[in-house]
Each structure stands twice: as structure tokens, then as C-alpha cells.
Structure 1
Amino acid sequence: MTVYGALDIGGTKIAGALVDNAGTLLVRAQRPTPAQRSAGELMAAVTSVLDELALHPMWDELTCLGIASAGPVDTAAGTVSPVNIPAWRRFPLTARVAAHPRLPLGLRPVLVGDAVAMTAAEHWLGAARGFENALCMVVSTGVGGGLVLGGRLHTGRTGNAGHIGHITVNLDGSLCPCGAPGCVEGFASGTAIAAHAQAAGWSAPAGVAPTAAAVADAARAGNPYARAAYERAAQALAAAIAATAALVELDLVVIGGGVAQAGDTLFAPLRRRMADYAVLDFTRGLPVVPALLALDAGLIGAAAVASSQAGVASSQAPVASSQAGVPALSSGPRP
């Protein structure tokens, strides 16, 4: 059995896993992300996850380690500047992880954006498998995306291609933490959905945190403010997806992440709104489907991309572009 390591770092959680060459998680560890704390405290949480994984007997069989991180990232420099983690700006994450004392000698971690990792996973084992041109999105604390074009994972020069969350959909919208006005993320992230519902008049039941999941529960129960918050998110997503489809032509859109767990509360208005924006012949009727790998897609995708760069065997591996220092992945097991 070939064993890959993976980290998935987002605004809500820091997860790690050991993954085999069929994409199965052998062991998983997780910590909350101290997103508003210092850079050192954030790194301590990452180290704690690695420490826990290192206790597993398969750790010593590790052949590579992939890191999926909220972005923007710079895969060539090994640095991250997540919009929703203020203390990390050009933070040398790859070097810090490489310095972990239990990491096998000579093993260099491979950095990838979290949404690109999710895309690699869904193209390998999930909803985008077999599709030549797909947009895969993570809608969670933030909104990210990745592209498969011509059957190959398209990462871009710095590893940020497909970052759909920072497409402007409202020219007069509020400034996003990234600095631009009216970004998709400001309408469709879980944080934005909860904030909009609360501002409109919705409040969470006693003892329930005011999250996007709570808003979804209220929407299903018929609360008009909660339903309007998801309608607003769906409209922003539809506008951005249609623009992307017009630019590169797509066969499929896959949406995962915590907000996607709302199911038809999100997908029904999104598919309806797509008809308003995807009006050109080559964009009309574009399928929009839920991700199949749920919340582990980032881990699986990070492992897949790292395995390709390390040149180790994988079963029915995904396909990546050669941009940003990431070599092409084979479409089958390596010899």
C-alpha cells in the first residue's frame, strides 16, 4: 500500500489525513482554525494535527505530503495569504510544515489551493470524473473554485486559477476582505448568508449558533428572511458560474463545501437562477451538481496532487496541468 499525507487548511478547520493510493482515508485528525489569532497560534494548530497523524503506524510509510490551503496561495514560493485568515500574509507554510521533526527526511510538502485540491479529488473519484471541462467550487467560510480544462487540472501560474469567489457580481457592492467591491464571496459564503439573514430580521433559535446551516433549517421551515438569504447567494453564484462558462465553456459544475450541505435549499434557486444568466446557446442547460466527496475532498485532492509531483503510484489518478510547477498526473497507475 502506498501512503500519502494530506492537510486541508480553511477558515473553520484544519484537517489532516493519511490517504492510500485508492483515495481512502486511513486516519483523520482535525482542529478548529484559530482564524483571528496570531500566525504562531495558527501554525501550532497545524503542528498539532501533524503530531496526531505521526502517532499512526502508517506514518513511517509516508511517500508525499500535500497541503490544501485557503487562498490566495503561491505554489511556487510555498506561501499562503488566505483572505479569511488575516495573520497569514505570504506565510511560508510549506517551509514550516517541512520543518516538522517527524516528517521523513527529504520529503518536501506540495502546496495547492483548497478549491483546486477539491477539484482534483472530484475529477479523480467524484462527480467530475470523466468530464473534460468542469468548474468545481467550494462554498463554505469563503468561496473558491478550480477548473478542469481539456481533461486536465488547470492550476495557473501561481496555483490560483478558478478562484471564482473573487469575481465581482455587484459593481456597487460592499468591499470584500480581498479589497474588491461586490465579490461572490460577499453574497454566497456561509458567513455572508448568515449575516444577510440576520440583518434582514432572522434570528437563530435559543442555543443555536447563527450559521448558514441554521439559516438553511429556517429556510426549509419557511422563514422568508432565511429563504431570501439563500436566494441572494444563489443569484450571485449563478452570475459567476455563467460568466465562467461563457469564458472557457464547461460541461459540468460541481459544488461542495459546508454551504452545499444545504441541498435543495441552495441548489433549487441556483438552478433556477442559472436560466437568467446562462443564456447563450453554449452555456444554457449547464448541469450543476453536488460534490460526491463531501468534506474530505480537500484532503483527497491534496494527496492526489502531491502524489503526482512525487511521482508515486496512484490508482486511476487525476490529471493536472504542468503549470505552477505541477507536472501532469497520469490517467492511470504509474509503472
Structure 2
Amino acid sequence: MEYRKLGNTELELSAITYGAFAIGGNMWGGNEKKDSIDSIHASIDNGVTTIDTAPFYGFGLSEEMIGEALQSQNRSKVQLLTKFGLVWDGSNKGKGDFFFDADDNEKKLPVYKFASKENIIKEVEESLKRLKTDYIDLLQIHWPDSTTPIQETMEAMDLLIKQGKIRAAGVCNYDVSQLKEAQKTISLASNQVSYSMLNRKIEADLIPLTVAENIGIIAYSPMERGLLTGKYFTDTKLKENDHRNGYFGQFDLQQVKTLIEELSSLAHAKEVNLAQLVLRWTTLQKGITIVLAGARNAEQAISNAKAMDFDLTALELDFINQAISKIK
């Protein structure tokens, strides 16, 4: 495993980071608790020291399972990244930006983006309790909230740093203008954004800014929620309540299938699987600090960690980039 310094902080994070969205179950067709906890332990055993989660993942379940899994681990050797700002329990009293209706056991729960100072402090206390810890290594706003001034949100995180409850502050899904506004109040550690072979939009303007400002980039959905593993072009079927039934529709699936076929030849030659090849390519892109990879069982977790056990030559990277360039 390779460990990388996050932005201007002292945090050293594993290049492959455990992404804990799927183990929450909601939007992913459910979960198996034992498999989820086993996947966390397997990740740590294979050098993955960083775990990224959020209260919204499973409406607290993801954080709770992580807290349980880490009771047998050395907390100082693990970096916990979590978020705030998605409210589903009505505690925001209708304030914030309406985001979408989430499914919870066939019930619709309205989710709001809400990042007021009061709400941040409340959410952090709840996360600390679920995670069974007294500090969070990196706290991130989950999505921008247009109803709360960015300055107020950043001041709240600065206060939490001074109180010792968080070690660093980050954002998620911020564009260039939002990032610049936030930087007026606090020195940000990172911006967590969607990035993959099929989605490279941040290379145009966001990456140049974060490189210049020494802000880390945490890449999520590098495998486009499993699409780039290739298994959904075979016999793998999604459950009816899995959000990917709609998510995959944004892509030209025939072009993606062609890309996968081309990349599979290189993966075979290097004796790695397609997911590992995709993850390794992502870790080598300019400005990318760490890459999130979800795992629902120990086998997937070990496979993700081993993506750092090989390298890609300049010729191999050129081959991959040429294949990607054919996607329109």
C-alpha cells in the first residue's frame, strides 16, 4: 500500500481508501452485517488504513458498523473520514435545500442539504457516538447547501478543529467558485468529487486549482458503482431497489462494454482483475490524492487493496488513455 499526505495537513492516508456507502445498505439493495464488518477488517489487514463514510449511508448504519468493527483495532492507526449536511430526520424543520426522497424500508424519506453551524455541531456529536471515537480525522460537508453561507459552514468546522473534535476540514462536490469562497475562511484539506475513466470533467478547472492551492482530491465512484468491473455485462443482476438500475442509464453502455473488452486484455496480461486496473489507473492521475473503493465482503476488500501491488508503465497508461478517448 502507498500512503499519501492529504493537502496541507499531517494526515497520511492510504491511496486506496475504504468507501463505506454500500455497506449502509440503503440505495444498494440491502447489506449483510457480518460481511460488511469482515470487509472492514480485511481492508485494514491488507494495508487500507483510511475509511470514508457518512451519516446518510444507511441512515447511521454505516457509521455504527465501522464503530463496531474498529473496537478490535488500534484507533490511532486508522483514519476516519465522515461527513455532515444531509438531513433526513426532520430535525432541520424544513430548512435547507430539498435534495431527493430516499427509500427506507419502502417508505419515502425527504432528504435535505443543510449545513448550518448548529446542525454541523449536532451531527458531529452523533457521528462520534456512532463511530465510538472522540475525534474525526477529516470532516467534510457532503453536498453544498445554498441556503447557508459558506462562511458559516467553514467557521463551524474551524471551531471543531480548535475543540479537537476533528483534525481537518474538507468539502465534497464543491465547484471552483465554492472552493475559492470556502478558502477565504479556512484552509481546506480536500475536496471529495466524482472521478472516473468515464467522468473526467474535474481535469479542466478543478484539478488545476487544487494542485495550485495544495488541496487534496478524494475521488469517489472510480469504478462507476461497479459498472467498470464488467460484471454487469454478464449474468449479474441488480435488486429492484438498487439505485444503479437508473444510474447506469447515463452511459452509452455499448461504448463502455467496448472499453472494458479493450482493458481486459491488459488486465489479463498483468495478471490483475479489471477493477484493480481501473483503481490503479485512477491513483496515478494528476491531482488525485486517494481513491475510494467500496467492498461488501472480505474478498472484494482484499482485491481493492491489492490494486496498489503493481504499477503501470508509460506505454500501458497510453494504451488505457487511448481506449478511454474513444468514449463520447
- Structures share fold, TM-score greater than 0.5: no
Give 1 or 2: higher helix fraction. 2
TM-score with structure 1 setting the length: 0.29
TM-score with structure 2 setting the length: 0.30
